[in-house]
C-alpha cells in the first residue's frame, strides 16, 4: 500500500526560528496536502498543492510539491508558540481521490 514518511518525527525549536519538515512517498500523488492537529482536535488543512514543482504560501507557511510528485516539504518562518502541534502531510490520488496521511511531525516551540 501507499506509505508516506515524514521527517523529522519531532522537533524542539526556539520561538522566532524557521522550521522545515518534509514528506516522501513510494507512490506518486496528484495532490499534496499539509494539515495541523492541535491536542484533542481533528487535523485542519493548512495548504494544498496541485502541480509538480508548485510552491504555495499561506502566511508564514510555505509548501512545495516535489518535481517527482513523490515528495513535499513545509516551511514555517518565524515560529510562534501557537505553532505547537502535530503536522501531517497527506497525498491524494486515484479516481475517487483517496487521502493517505504521513506519520506526522510533532513540533514544540520554546518561548
List of residues contacting other proteins (CB under 8 A): 1, 31, 33, 40-45, 48, 50, 88, 90, 92, 96-104
Least distance between other proteins and beta carbon 84 (Å): 17
What distance in Å separates the CA atoms of residue 70 and residue 4, rounded to the nearest whole number?
A: 9
- Candidates 10, 20, 18; CA nearest to 72 is 20
- Choice between 45 and 55, CB closer to other proteins: 45
- What's the per-residue H, E or C state across 18-51? CEEEEEEECCCCCEEEEEEECCCCCCEEEEEECC
Give the pairing type, strands 44-49 and 71-76: unpaired
- Choice between 2 and 68, CB closer to other proteins: 2
Least distance between other proteins and beta carbon 73 (Å): 18
Q: Is 7 exposed, middle or buried (0-12, 13-18, 19+ CB in 10 A)?
A: middle
- Choice between 42 and 111, CB closer to other proteins: 42
- Choice between 32 and 73, CB closer to other proteins: 32
Least distance between other proteins and beta carbon 14 (Å): 26
Least distance between other proteins and beta carbon 82 (Å): 19
Amino acid at each position: 500500500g501507499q506509505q508516506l514518511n515524514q521527517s523529522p518525527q519531532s522537533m524542539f525549536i526556539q520561538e522566532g526560528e524557521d522550521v522545515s519538515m518534509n514528506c516522501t512517498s513510494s507512490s506518486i500523488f496528484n495532490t499534496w496536502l499539509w494539515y495541523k492537529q492541535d491536542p484533542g482536535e481533528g487535523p485542519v488543512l493548512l495548504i494544498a498543492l496541485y502541480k509538480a514543482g508548485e510552491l504555495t504560501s499561506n502566511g508564514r507557511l510555505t509548501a512545495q510539491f516535489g518535481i517527482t510528485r513523490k515528495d513535499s516539504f513545509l516551511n514555517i518562518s518565524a515560529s510562534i508558540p501557537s505553532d505547537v502541534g502535530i503536522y501531517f502531510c497527506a497525498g491524494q490520488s486515484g479516481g475517487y481521490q483517496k487521502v493517505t496521511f504521513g506519520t506526522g511531525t510533532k513540533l514544540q516551540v520554546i518561548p
